[in-house]
Amino acid sequence: MYPFTYNSRPARVIFGSGTVARLPAEVERLGLKRVLVLSTAQQQGQAEALSASLGERSGGVFAGARMHTPTAVTDEAMALVVEAAIDGFVAVGGGSTTGLAKALALRTDLPQIILPTTFAGSEMTPILGETRDGRKVTQSNPKILPEVVIYDVDLTLTMPVQLCVTSGINAAAHAVEALYAQDRNPVVSLMASAGVEALVSALPTIVGNPDDRDARAKALYGAWLCGICLGSVGMALHHKLCHTLGGLFDLPHSETHTVILPHALRYNEAAAPEAIAALKRAMGQADPARTLFDLAASLGAPTALQDLGMPVEGIGEAVEQALENPYWNPRDLEKEALRTLLVNAYRGAPP
Ligand code: NAD
């Protein structure tokens, strides 16, 4: 047993099917009189329905959330917050919508109730990445952590199968890196193993039968656990590479995680034997990195950065940037080995 520090993140979590009906009681429990309901344009219908269920306690809908939390969008929503005397936020959506709620909470310190509809896990973290003038800046602050999270599997039923797969592997990436984090601890490691186990078994079932509510619930449960991992311990090379690639080439979030994870895990494998042992147990497979690659490929998810729109000449720049201000990693960052990693990921070669 190694010495550790464990910080729990205070959040109220409600999980199940039909739990969206608990929203009015939760708004009331927090004493909120006028909440702003947030979503993307695509999910405006869901936001309108939630707003209607809140009656007088809704101060309206803002359906302008966008990927990477542009500050211009937050400013637009802030104007509404002031004008309508908003006293709390309800977000229905994936990481992009949660990001907007967090950005507003950071500015106002008002409470947030999040209803996640993907497996991204942002709702369990005190982390916010905001984009201003094309630069994404990430910060951590207790004000950013949502107060209440309502997981309702029914809200995930409309999530396209391809997003389920990439979002699920994105979630698994949080757990994989938690298992070899410098500040790992036994409680978070238990959650990481259980999260990976749930996702790896649920994703093929969802692809086989997109309406399988039990499989979607299992994946959502796994995503919750993986979100806690992301919010609790430090992330390493995998997340650094994904942030670098996303920022440099505007690559799609969960797809980039899906492509990089098997390669980042292979890179760290020899330096993280305990994590590998835990992943073997969780997956029931002898080669976790190859298992993740095969899982993505067999479920029709992307396995090559070139298919996500990354330019081949960007590999060198990505290596340089990944080496600048690196996150702690179990294996030293070696320039040539990183280049090989990215070339393989670019081509879609197995790890
Ligand atoms: P997303 O929120 O951008 O959603 C992708 C698209 O799918 C959107 O158009 C959305 O409206 C739609 N969608 C989501 N759920 C749906 C559903 N159930 N049915 C139909 N359509 C649905 O994607 P994401 O992968 O959840 O989030 C990515 C963003 O979250 C990135 O900006 C990333 O940086 C951020 N993120 C932040 C953290 C953190 O801790 N700060 C963690 C994870 C992700």
Judge whether 182 lies within some domain.
Answer: yes
pLDDT band with cut points at 50, 70 and 90 for residue 265: very high
What is the distance in A from the centroid of ligand 1 to the CA of 94? 3
**How far, in Å, CA of 226 to CA of 330, rounded?**
20
What domain range includes position 106?
12-156
What pLDDT, on a 0 to 100 scale, did the predictor assign at position 247?
A: 86
pLDDT mean over 320-348:
96
Atom 9 of ligand 1, nearest CA residue: 42
**Do 271 and 142 have their domain in common?**
no
Judge whether 305 lies within some domain.
Answer: yes
Judge whether 216 lies within some domain.
Answer: yes
**Do 106 and 145 have their domain in common?**
yes
What pLDDT, on a 0 to 100 scale, did the predictor assign at position 9?
A: 87
pTM: 0.96
Does pLDDT of 291 surpass 80?
yes
Report the nearest atom of ligand 1 relative to the CA of 163. Answer: 7
What pLDDT, on a 0 to 100 scale, did the predictor assign at position 10?
A: 85
What pLDDT, on a 0 to 100 scale, did the predictor assign at position 164?
A: 98
What pLDDT, on a 0 to 100 scale, did the predictor assign at position 213?
A: 97
**Do 138 and 250 have their domain in common?**
no
CATH number at residue 72: 3.40.50.1970
What is the distance in A from the centroid of ligand 1 to the CA of 252? 10
pLDDT mean over 178-195:
97
- Give yes or no for a contact between 2 and 25, defined as CB atoms under 8 angstroms apart: no
Judge whether 1 lies within some domain.
Answer: no
What pLDDT, on a 0 to 100 scale, did the predictor assign at position 137?
A: 87
What is the distance in A from the centroid of ligand 1 to the CA of 96? 5
Among residues 116, 136, 156, the one where a domain terminates is: 156
Judge whether 80 lies within some domain.
Answer: yes
What pLDDT, on a 0 to 100 scale, did the predictor assign at position 209?
A: 98
What pLDDT, on a 0 to 100 scale, did the predictor assign at position 181?
A: 98
**How far, in Å, CA of 208 to CA of 57, rounded?**
41
What is the distance in A from the centroid of ligand 1 to the CA of 97? 7
**Do 30 and 88 have their domain in common?**
yes
Among residues 156, 191, 221, the one where a domain terminates is: 156
Atom 32 of ligand 1, nearest CA residue: 68
Among residues 139, 156, 173, the one where a domain terminates is: 156
Test site for ligand 1: of 42, 144, 226, 229, most ligand atoms within 8 A of the Cβ: 42
**Do 298 and 250 have their domain in common?**
yes
**Do 193 and 44 have their domain in common?**
no
pLDDT mean over 219-246:
96
What pLDDT, on a 0 to 100 scale, did the predictor assign at position 211?
A: 96
State the total domains in the chain. 2
**Do 124 and 240 have their domain in common?**
no
- Give yes or no for a contact between 111 and 148, defined as CB atoms under 8 angstroms apart: yes
What is the distance in A from the centroid of ligand 1 to the CA of 277? 31
Report pLDDT digits (tens) over 67-122.
989 999 999 999 999 999 999 999 999 999 999 999 999 999 999 999 999 999 99
**Do 253 and 321 have their domain in common?**
yes
**Do 108 and 180 have their domain in common?**
no
Judge whether 4 lies within some domain.
Answer: no
Atom 37 of ligand 1, nearest CA residue: 122
Report the nearest atom of ligand 1 relative to the CA of 157. Answer: 18
**Do 93 and 210 have their domain in common?**
no
What is the distance in A from the centroid of ligand 1 to the CA of 2? 36
Test site for ligand 1: of 20, 67, 154, most ligand atoms within 8 A of the Cβ: 67
Judge whether 282 lies within some domain.
Answer: yes
What pLDDT, on a 0 to 100 scale, did the predictor assign at position 72?
A: 97
Report the nearest atom of ligand 1 relative to the CA of 41. Answer: 11
pLDDT band with cut points at 50, 70 and 90 for residue 326: confident
Judge whether 2 lies within some domain.
Answer: no
What is the distance in A from the centroid of ligand 1 to the CA of 237? 22
**Do 107 and 193 have their domain in common?**
no
Report pLDDT digits (tens) over 12-67.
999 999 999 999 999 999 999 999 999 999 999 999 999 999 999 999 999 999 99
Report the nearest atom of ligand 1 relative to the CA of 102. Answer: 41
> What residues line ligand 1, using a CB cutoff of 6 Å?
40, 42-43, 67-68, 93-97, 99, 117-118, 120-122, 125, 127-129, 155-156, 158-159, 163, 167, 230, 253-254
CATH number at residue 167: 1.20.1090.10
Lookup: tokens for 164: 């389920």
What is the distance in A from the centroid of ligand 1 to the CA of 198? 20
Residue type for position 214: D
pLDDT band with cut points at 50, 70 and 90 for residue 8: confident
**Do 224 and 109 have their domain in common?**
no
Does pLDDT of 135 surpass 80?
no
